[in-house]
Amino acid sequence: MALPAFFNPIVNAPASQKLVAGIMGLLVICGVAYVFLLQPVMTHIDALRPEVSKLQGEVAQNRRILADLMKFRREVAELEARLNALKDRLPSEREMPGLYRTLSDAAASAGLGVSLFQPRPVVVQEVYTEIPITLNGEAGYHQVGEFLEKVARLPRVVTVNEIRMSTGNRPRNPVKAELVLATYMYRPVGSPPPPKPAGAR
């Protein structure tokens, strides 16, 4: 099929002119493609760059928050484990009569002649309840020390908050010991205080 006559000057032109014309045509096509296709896309990309940077910052911040959250969860788990271990050492309300008997038996086995064993009114704290116990008795120094050692070895937490020692009236029991012991019950935040222990005034 023959080309129209107006293509004859191009077809019959020397090879160098054809090369120049081809390069010029290619440049025109590239220019038109850049203006109508690439430039709008690049402008859109430039407009999106601040938003991308903002999103990358938010992603980095969320990763830091997630790392902190995992750390806090580990710390909470460790604290809960420690709290459960401590709760296991604190007597429950129904264990209190048994603990009173254990303290009384410890005093008797140490040779401490108990003249007064009296639970006091409870002291309510935020997460625990303190139960003071007054214990008065007479014995020798070694018997008092043995009783305190037995108290320290109890599986439930019992502390000695006060101790006063004076000369006893009996030669076989030269020491009069006045002690204020205390044990503790776990108290969840917001829970009502426990009832007064038996014998408290």
Q: What percent of the chain has pLDDT over 70?
A: 78
> What is the pLDDT at residue 7?
58
How many other CB atoms are found less than 10 A from the CB of residue 131? Answer: 25
In this prediction, residue 201 has a pLDDT band, given cuts at 50, 70 and 90, of: very low
CA separation for the pair 56, 35 (Å, rounded): 30
| DSSP annotation string for 131-198 | EEEEEEEEE-HHHHHHHHHHHHT-SS-EEEEEEEEEEEEETTEEEEEEEEEEEEEE--TTPPPPPPPT
* In the predicted structure, residue 126 carries a pLDDT above the cut 60: yes
* In the predicted structure, residue 133 carries a pLDDT above the cut 90: yes
Least confident piece of the model among 75-89, 133-147, 183-197? 183-197
Q: Which helix (H) or strand (E) holds 18?
A: helix 15-33
In the 8-state DSSP scheme, what is residue 98?
H
CA separation for the pair 197, 136 (Å, rounded): 18
For residue range 164-178, what is the model confidence (pLDDT) as tens digits? 988 867 667 688 999
For residue range 98-123, what is the model confidence (pLDDT) as tens digits? 888 999 999 999 988 888 999 999 88
Please give the average per-residue pLDDT across 116-138, as a whole number: 88
Structural contact between residues 165 and 125, judged by C-beta atoms closer than 8 angstroms: no
